[in-house]
């Protein structure tokens, strides 16, 4: 009589034979290392098959309708997933997936008690034989459940047979790729809606921590195509150049692939900022602030607008030499930037001066790129002047908040070293609030 444990016992025997009389893994020959690794894989996969059956049994004996008689609750756990995860050292998510595999590959019975085959018999057979593991089986089960709804059980069964034949020897990433292509083949009409869904989920977030800018990007295929192709092309070119240059120089370039990819992103951004034909950045400019004396004497440090981490004077010089920085000089008091009422809109030079003084939204601190220059005394209503002393950088939200709630704004001093103060609305008992760079930076 065969047993579920027979494949596991056979796999264990193969592992013992491959190990031989070695005292430890360090004593194995190269041939033994390969054989032992293969045997361990077989042991793990056949153990997964046994574990999936056991997990399905635990879930059956822990179903909600049993109440206090639930196996999991009797053992002190909320549910079967928590019991399995805690006792085997896995996550509850992994345990729940194992239960799902067990239930999808277990023999079934109809309402009359008559035996029925497993929901996915091909997966059950491959799992029991140790050709696939629980992780791969879980991916297949999830995929096929979705395909049954989309294309019907008959075509899903064909897909099951094809995938089970393809999966052994593939990594999980390769299995995922195969399922993606198969889904498009089985349900071509679903490609466009899926594409819309992925496009809606695309995002990129940026935040600064420990002196580093962190980028988290999730891109749909259309956006990812150009990004991935460009970065991979840059990396390939760098490795080709490394091969072609003098060996002594090649050894000096010890950048990892990750570091080269970071260089690629910076390279493309610099190109976008300096390309004269690029009209999509709306005049975006990298602003580096540095004391003129420090720059001349190679002392001190610099600050990049929008980033918290200071940079060394050597980095300031290196950035300046890259061509992505616009040189800007003005009087300490900004006197040459005053235009009175000759111009309604603030000039680019004035906006740069306001960026220098305010650092971004003077009220909430959003980066300069998310702000506009606004007249404190309105141009039309108050006949306000287009001067630095009457200008302030505000994001759209703060602009409306200040006007709608009647906050006042006062500028103490002149030029880029002035302080911006926000005055609470009438009836609000609170002190004036310091804004701009002076709120968070130690500046003169």
Q: Quick one: tokens of 386? A: 């287009």
373: three-class secondary structure by DSSP: strand
pTM (2 d.p.): 0.59
Q: Quick one: tokens of 384? A: 């306000």
At 339, the pLDDT band (50, 70, 90 cuts) reads very low
Residues 6+ apart with CB under 8 A from 319: 286, 288, 304, 311, 325
Please, are residues 56 and 127 in contact by the beta-carbon 8 Å criterion? no
Q: Is the per-residue pLDDT at 2 higher than 80?
A: no
Q: Is the per-residue pLDDT at 336 higher than 50?
A: no
Angle, alpha carbons 179-181-186 (nearest 5°)? 85
What does the pLDDT look like over 147-171, one tens digit per residue? 999 999 999 999 999 999 999 988 8
At 333, the pLDDT band (50, 70, 90 cuts) reads very low
How far is residue 295's CA from residue 381's CA, in Å, rounded to a whole number?
Answer: 43
What does the pLDDT look like over 366-390, one tens digit per residue? 878 778 888 888 776 777 888 888 8
- The mean pLDDT of 58-86, rounded to a whole number, is 93
What does the pLDDT look like over 32-66, one tens digit per residue? 999 999 999 999 999 999 999 999 999 999 999 99
Q: Quick one: tokens of 323? A: 């061509």
At 441, the pLDDT band (50, 70, 90 cuts) reads low
User: C-alpha 176: how far from its chain's center?
Assistant: 19
What does the pLDDT look like over 114-142, one tens digit per residue? 888 899 999 999 999 999 999 999 999 99
User: C-alpha 406: how far from its chain's center?
Assistant: 40
User: How many of the other CB atoms lie within 10 Å of CB of 105?
Assistant: 25
pLDDT of residue 279: 58
């Amino acid at each position: 009589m065969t047993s579920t444990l027979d494949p596991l016992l056979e796999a264990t025997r193969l592992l013992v034979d491959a190990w031989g009389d070695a005292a430890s893994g360090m004593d194995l020959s190269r041939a033994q290392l390969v054989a032992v690794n293969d045997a361990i894989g077989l042991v793990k996969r056949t153990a997964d098959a046994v574990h999936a059956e056991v997990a399905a049994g635990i879930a059956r004996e822990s179903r909600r309708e049993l109440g206090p008689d639930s196996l999991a609750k009797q053992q002190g756990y909320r549910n079967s997933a928590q019991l399995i995860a805690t006792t085997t050292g896995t996550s509850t998510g992994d345990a729940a997936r194992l239960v799902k595999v067990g239930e999808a590959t277990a023999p079934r019975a109809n309402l009359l008690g008559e035996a029925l085959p497993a929901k996915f018999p091909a997966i059950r057979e491959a799992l029991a034989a140790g050709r696939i593991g629980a992780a791969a089986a879980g991916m297949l089960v999830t995929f096929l459940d979705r395909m049954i709804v989309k294309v019907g059980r008959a075509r899903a069964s064909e897909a099951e047979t094809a995938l089970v034949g393809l999966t052994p020897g593939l990594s999980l990433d390769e299995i995922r790729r195969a399922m993606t292509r198969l889904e498009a083949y089985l349900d071509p009409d679903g490609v466009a809606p899926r594409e819309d869904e992925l496009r809606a989920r695309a995002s990129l977030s940026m935040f600064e921590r420990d002196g580093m800018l962190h980028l988290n990007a999730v891109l749909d295929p259309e956006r990812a195509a150009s990004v991935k192709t460009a970065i991979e092309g840059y990396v390939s070119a760098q490795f080709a150049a490394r091969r072609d240059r003098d060996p002594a120089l090649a050894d000096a370039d010890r950048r990892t692939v990750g570091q080269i990819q970071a260089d690629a992103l910076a390279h493309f951004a610099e190109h976008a900022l300096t390309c004269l034909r690029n009209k999509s950045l709306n005049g975006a400019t990298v602003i580096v602030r540095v004391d003129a004396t420090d720059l001349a004497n190679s002392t001190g440090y610099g600050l990049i607008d929008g980033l918290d981490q200071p940079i060394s004077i050597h980095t300031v010089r290196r950035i300046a030499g890259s061509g992505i920085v616009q040189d800007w000089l003005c009087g300490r008091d900004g006197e040459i930037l005053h235009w009175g009422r000759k111009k309604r809109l603030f000039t680019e030079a004035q906006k740069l001066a306001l960026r220098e003084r305010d650092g971004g939204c003077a009220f909430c601190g959003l980066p300069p790129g998310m702000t506009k220059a606004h007249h404190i005394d309105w141009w039309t209503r108050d006949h306000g002047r287009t001067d630095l002393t009457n200008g302030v950088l505000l994001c759209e939200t703060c602009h409306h908040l200040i006007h709608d709630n009647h906050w006042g704004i006062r500028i103490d001093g002149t030029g880029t070293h002035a302080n911006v103060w926000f005055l609470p609305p009438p009836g609000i008992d609170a002190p004036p609030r310091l804004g701009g760079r002076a709120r968070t930076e130690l500046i003169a």
